[in-house]
């Protein structure tokens, strides 16, 4: 069955499927899955089918995402649908698409709807939303991961083969790990954030969820590029596709054993060791390094001045109607209202020092490989301890954008308890293509199923 972008495009070329067929299948799967917490806003099926039929009549069918259904996180503007950032009181109707959505349409994609998220993209758990907690596809007692919850689940459940998320502190990687799918967090500035509700405007990235590395890279190639509407946009000279072979003898940095944090989860610790063994078997050289400086950078994200950026986005709402916000989100963001300029500059100085340490680290390695998440918690556990447990999930993600790294989260294995485990490849900004080459080879070697589908990775 055609599930991936590549397979769907092949089916179109062979005449065995049409865009309308794939759109109809997407809506049928939404009904069958029966989880209203995945989408916040969904376009009428008849409207998308009409768009798909019109697309099929066009003479030009070589667009890279021709007829591919896509879901979009509901902090990214889609013309015709409200943007809520999972806060009904914040809702507005954009007059135009975000740049990334416009580029998706220009590449032939069909937008199905807007997906659920941790409110204002503040969280890694997927439970900080008034629109319901989406079901974890492998165990309904467990959190689905956030903040890009609905987008990740829509891909993992086979509703769409591609979805957009965002990633400031790990929101494009954590739910990918919990869904057994690929989460691509590009280099900062590679994809425009014009039309995105900011979390931390200086750090925000639009991310891509897909079933395979090739699909994620194809989507990135379609939407990447400088944008005059985004002052943080940065052109990248290196090509993004096609994905090349894994380099021989690539040096993969891994935390020294004393720096590996799993918070008592021995199953995840063993899964990480297995992943490193598989990478070594593929020809990589494993280099143990001290990553404590990365943890120091991670602590700055929520203990430093960057929380003030989150506060800037919602300060009018907090001043006028604070009760309309999720209480945990409000608590986290309010911390950003009390810092001083002196505190901010002290943190900026510390971060620059840590960047120099990070630069030195990457002279000894090509890529850093870390667990995407150290463990997973039940919904009940997170609701009882929402701040600390969420913080733990950001152990290997929170430092990435602060240190200007690109990231690729890929599935690694299925744990004995039936839940997925994944690893993330990290490299300095601009090395997105290098991560794709390693990530694709590793993912292929796992022979895992695609997301929560029965189809194996080809």
Judge whether residue 60 has pLDDT over 80: no
Angle among Cα 294, 328, 411 to the nearest 5 degrees reads 45
Is residue 3 within 8 Å of residue 457, measured between CB atoms?
no
> Residue 234 pLDDT > 80, yes or no?
yes
User: Please, where are the H alpha helices in 365-407?
Assistant: 379-384, 386-393
CB neighbour list of residue 326: distance below 8 Å, 6 or more residues apart: 86, 87, 119, 128, 129, 130
pLDDT of residue 384: 98
* pLDDT computed for residue 356 by the predictor: 97
Class of domain 1-458: alpha beta
Tokens of 115: 């997906």
Q: Are strands 367-371 and 251-255 parallel, antiparallel or unpaired?
A: parallel
Long-range contacts of 200-204 (CB under 8 A, 24+ apart): 200/168, 200/301, 200/306, 200/309, 200/310, 200/401, 201/232, 201/309, 201/312, 202/232, 202/306, 202/309, 203/168, 203/169, 203/306, 203/309, 203/401, 203/402, 204/166, 204/167, 204/168, 204/232, 204/401
> What whole-number percentage of the chain has pLDDT above 70?
99
Looking at residues 81-102, what average pLDDT do you find?
98
* Average pLDDT, integer, range 161-178: 98
Q: Which two tokens stand for residue 342?
A: 């002196």
Angle between helices 327-334 and 307-320 (to 10 degrees): 120
- Tens of pLDDT along 197-225? 999 999 999 999 999 999 999 999 999 99
Residue 309 clears pLDDT 70, i.e. is over it: yes
Residue 15: is its pLDDT beyond 90?
A: yes
pLDDT in tens, 332-373: 999 888 889 999 999 999 999 999 999 999 999 999 999 999
Element (H, E) at 17: none
Catalytic residue among 26, 73, 148, 185: 73
Model-wide pTM > 0.95: yes
CA separation for the pair 176, 422 (Å, rounded): 8
Does 192 qualify as catalytic in the annotation? no
**Statement: residue 193 has pLDDT above 90:** yes
Q: What pLDDT score does 303 carry?
A: 86
Q: What is the DSSP letter of 252?
A: E
Listed in sequence order, the residues at least 6 apart from 231 whose beta carbon sits closer than 8 Å to its beta carbon are none
Tokens of 387: 């701040």
- Contact yes or no for 165/151 (Cβ under 8 A): yes
pLDDT at 88: 98
pLDDT above 80 (res 415): yes
Label residue 324 by pLDDT band (50, 70, 90).
Answer: very high
Q: How confident is the model at residue 1 (pLDDT cuts 50, 70, 90)?
A: confident
| pLDDT per position as a tens digit, 392-411 | 999 999 999 999 999 999 99
Of 177-186, 234-243, 259-268, 294-303, least confident by mean pLDDT is 234-243
Whether 148 and 420 have beta carbons less than 8 Å apart is answered as no
Q: How far apart are CA 19 and CA 69, in angstroms?
A: 8
At residue 237, the pLDDT reads 63
**Which residue among the candidates 26, 147, 192, 413 is catalytic per the annotation?**
147
Strand partners, 407: 185, 426
Structure tokens at 158: 């086979």
- pLDDT tens for residues 111-133? 999 999 999 999 999 999 999 99
Q: Enumerate helices (H) and strands (E) in the chain, giving the number of each.
A: 15, 11
Q: Does residue 59 register a pLDDT over 80?
A: no
Show the DSSP H helices in 282-340 as ranges.
292-303, 307-320, 327-334
Q: Which of 54, 96, 57 minimizes the C-alpha distance to 76? A: 96
Q: Which residues, other chains included, contact 345 with Cβ-Cβ below 8 Å and sequence gap of 6+?
A: none
What angle (nearest 5°) sits at the alpha carbon of residue 364, between those of residues 357 and 249?
150
Tokens encoding 160: 């769409």
Q: Are 201 and 209 a contacting pair, CB within 8 Å?
A: no
Residue ranges of the domains in the chain?
1-458
Give the pLDDT score at 286.
97
Active site residue 171: yes
The predicted pLDDT at position 239 comes to 61
Active site residue 73: yes
Q: What percent of the chain has pLDDT over 90?
A: 92
pLDDT, position 58: 79
Catalytic residue (choose from 171, 192, 233, 413): 171
Assess whether pLDDT exceeds 70 at residue 248.
yes
Q: What is the pLDDT of residue 94?
A: 98
pLDDT band with cut points at 50, 70 and 90 for residue 241: low
Tokens 């994905």 identify what position? Answer: 243
């Amino acid at each position: 069955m055609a599930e991936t972008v590549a397979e769907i495009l092949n089916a179109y070329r062979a005449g065995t499927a049409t865009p309308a067929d794939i759109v109809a299948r997407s809506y049928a799967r939404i009904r069958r899955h029966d989880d209203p917490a995945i989408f916040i806003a969904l376009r009428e099926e008849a409207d998308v089918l009409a768009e798909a039929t019109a697309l099929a009549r066009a003479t030009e069918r070589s667009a890279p995402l021709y007829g591919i259904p896509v879901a979009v996180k509901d902090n990214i503007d889609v013309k015709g649908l409200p943007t809520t950032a999972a806060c009904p009181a914040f809702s507005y109707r954009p007059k135009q698409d975000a740049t990334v959505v416009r580029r998706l349409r220009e590449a032939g994609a069909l937008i199905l709807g807007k997906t659920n998220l941790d409110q204002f993209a503040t969280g890694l758990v997927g439970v900080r939303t008034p629109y319901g907690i989406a079901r974890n596809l492998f165990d309904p007692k467990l959190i689905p991961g956030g903040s890009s919850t609905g987008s990740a689940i829509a891909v993992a459940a086979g509703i769409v083969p591609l979805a957009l998320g965002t990633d400031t502190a790990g929101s494009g990687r954590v739910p990918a790990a919990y869904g057994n799918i690929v989460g691509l967090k590009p280099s900062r500035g590679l994809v425009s954030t014009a039309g995105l509700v900011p979390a931390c405007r200086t750090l925000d990235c639009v991310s891509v969820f897909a079933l395979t590395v090739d699909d994620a890279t194809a989507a990135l190639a379609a939407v990447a590029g400088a944008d005059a509407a985004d002052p943080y946009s940065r052109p990248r000279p290196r090509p993004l596709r096609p994905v090349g072979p894994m380099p021989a003898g690539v040096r993969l940095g891994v935390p020294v054993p004393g720096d590996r944090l799993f918070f008592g989860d021995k199953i995840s610790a063993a899964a990480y060791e297995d992943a490193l063994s598989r990478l070594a078997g593929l020809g990589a050289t494993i280099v143990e390094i001290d990553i404590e400086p990365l943890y120091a950078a991670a602590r700055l994200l929520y203990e430093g001045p960057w929380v003030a950026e989150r506060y800037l986005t919602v300060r009018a709402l907090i001043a006028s109607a604070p009760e309309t916000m999720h209480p945990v989100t409000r608590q986290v963001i309010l911390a950003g209202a009390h810092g001083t300029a002196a505190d901010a500059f002290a943190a900026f100085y510390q971060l620059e020092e840590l960047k120099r340490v990070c630069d030195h680290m990457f002279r000894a390695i090509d890529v850093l490989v870390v667990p995407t998440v150290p463990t997973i918690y039940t919904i009940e556990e997170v609701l009882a301890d929402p701040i600390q447990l969420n913080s733990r999930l950001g152990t290997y993600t929170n430092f990435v954008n602060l240190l200007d790294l690109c990231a690729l989260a890929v599935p690694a294995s299925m744990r004995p308890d039936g839940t997925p485990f994944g690893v993330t490849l990290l490299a300095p900004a601009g090395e997105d293509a290098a991560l794709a080459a390693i990530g694709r080879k590793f993912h292929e070697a796992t022979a895992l199923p695609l997301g929560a589908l029965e189809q194996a990775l080809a």
